[in-house]
Amino acid sequence: MNAIVHKNLGEIIDYSNIPSHVAIIMDGNGRWARKINKERFFGHNRGINSVKESIDVSIELGIETLTLFAFSMENWKRPKSEINALMTLLSSSIENELKSIIENNIKLNVIGDLDLVPKKTRDKLLNAIIKTKNNDGLNLNLAVSYGAKQELVRAIKIISHKVKKNIISEENIDEETINEHLYTENSKNVDLLIRTGGEFRVSNFLLWQISYAELNFQKVLWPDFKKYHFLNAIIDYQNRTRRFGKIHA
Ligand code: IPE
Ligand code: IPE
Ligand code: MG
């Protein structure tokens, strides 16, 4: 998309109504690569550009939290070769981008079961979390080895353990208790969920946190997702009426 199109979309955006928390299911890398007769990995690699562009747009718009679905719990069922390639891509991208992540005041958080992630990748992720922990710009949650159902099971186990140990009393368990025991403990609920790649499903992503999110499904395959598509999703969001069950005059 050219700069003029961007400029026009930028002018339509209402800067007083920017979603605080945007989550993206970055889907379609494999199909993007197959369309041009390349290996699936080529698409994953190219998808990194879209990740960078989405982060830049989020900073530009003043979005507080961006949560990106990079690797699902179910993705562990893919062939070993693809898993290895994705884990290597993840660690090399973090390594290459860490300086710029720090300079851009981004606070990186990783959500998911890191115990399953190979040590080399895990160490790179943990190092980036530590190095950015005092940053107070964009909160970037990277969902790696993440599944929403598994996240809920984990939260329930921690809570029941605390009940047993009298740290929490059963009567006091409420929505906030659940929020505090999810990987996303510090993030607000999702306002806008975007999924690229043309599928109309949420694939076990943030089930609790998207309970009142606005949903935006786009056909575009992730490596083709640019600022133009992100701004369109924001404009679409701004044209929704969020009633939260109430009646609007
Ligand atoms: C999304 O692209 C990236 C991951 C799930 C890791 P896919 O790899 O799912 O690509 P498609 O959906 O097969 O095209
Ligand atoms: C969802 O995409 C997971 C990520 C984008 C990381 P998938 O390609 O794994 O989802 P399904 O298989 O189409 O549901
Ligand atoms: Mg897919």
pLDDT in tens, 18-75: 999 999 999 999 999 999 999 999 999 999 999 999 999 999 999 999 999 999 999 9
How many residues does the structure list for the chain? 249
Residues with CB under 6 A from ligand 1: 26-31, 71, 75, 86, 197, 222
Catalytic residue among 27, 141, 216, 232: 27
Which of 72, 142, 207 to probe ligand 2 with, by most ligand atoms within 8 A of CB?
72
Distance 55 CA to ligand 1 centre (A): 19
Cβ neighbours for 9, distance < 8 A, ≥ 6 positions apart:
228, 231, 232, 235
Q: What is the pTM of this model?
A: 0.96
Per cent of the chain over pLDDT 90 is: 94
- pLDDT for 212 equals 97
Instruction: Quote the CA–CA distance of 205 and 151 in Å, as a whole number.
Output: 10
The residue with greater pLDDT, 188 or 167, is 167
Instruction: Quote the CA–CA distance of 123 and 126 in Å, as a whole number.
Output: 5
Q: What confidence tens digit (pLDDT) does each residue in 169-218 have?
A: 999 999 999 999 999 997 889 999 999 999 999 999 999 999 999 999 99
Using the predicted structure, report yes or no on whether residue 1 has a pLDDT greater than 60: no
Task: State the average pLDDT for the chain.
Answer: 96
Residue 23 in 3-state DSSP?
strand
Chain centroid to CA 225: how far?
Answer: 14
Distance 98 CA to ligand 1 centre (A): 24
- pLDDT for 37 equals 98
Distance 137 CA to ligand 3 centre (A): 30
Long-range contacts of 193-196 (CB under 8 A, 24+ apart): 193/22, 193/23, 193/24, 193/25, 194/22, 194/23, 194/24, 194/25, 194/218, 194/230, 194/233, 195/24, 195/25, 195/27, 196/24, 196/25, 196/26, 196/27, 196/28, 196/220, 196/221, 196/222, 196/225, 196/229
Q: CATH number of 24-147+188-238: 3.30.1490.20, 3.40.50.300, 3.40.1180.10, 3.40.640.10?
A: 3.40.1180.10
Nearest residue (by CA) to ligand 1, atom 1, is 27
C-alpha distance across the termini of the chain, in Å: 38
Q: What confidence tens digit (pLDDT) does each residue in 84-131 have?
A: 999 999 999 999 999 999 999 999 999 999 999 999 999 999 999 999
Which of 31, 117, 202 to probe ligand 1 with, by most ligand atoms within 8 A of CB?
31
Which one of 10-19, 80-89, 240-249 scores highest in mean pLDDT? 80-89
- pLDDT for 4 equals 54
- pLDDT for 38 equals 98
DSSP label at 21?
A: E
Using the predicted structure, report yes or no on whether residue 15 has a pLDDT greater than 70: yes
Ligand 2 touching residue 230 (CB < 6 A):
no
Residue 204 in 3-state DSSP?
coil
- pLDDT for 186 equals 76
- pLDDT for 9 equals 82
Using the predicted structure, report yes or no on whether residue 249 has a pLDDT greater than 70: no
- pLDDT for 187 equals 82
Percent helix, strand, coil in the chain, to 5, is 50, 15, 35
Quickly state the pLDDT bin for 3 (edges 50, 70, 90). low
> Region 2-31: what's the mean pLDDT?
87
Distance 30 CA to ligand 3 centre (A): 7
Instruction: Quote the CA–CA distance of 46 and 102 in Å, as a whole number.
Output: 23
How many Cβ atoms sit within 10 Å of the Cβ of residue 39?
Answer: 14
Could you tell me which of 218, 211, 213, 214 has the C-alpha nearest to residue 195?
218
Tokens standing for residue 76: 């562990």
Instruction: Quote the CA–CA distance of 107 and 135 in Å, as a whole number.
Output: 5
Q: Please identify, by atom number, the ligand 1 atom nearest to the C-alpha of residue 31.
A: 14
What is the residue extent of each domain of the chain? 24-147+188-238
Ligand 2 touching residue 69 (CB < 6 A):
yes
- pLDDT for 5 equals 61
Catalytic residue among 49, 75, 135, 189: 75
* Catalytic annotation present for 75: yes
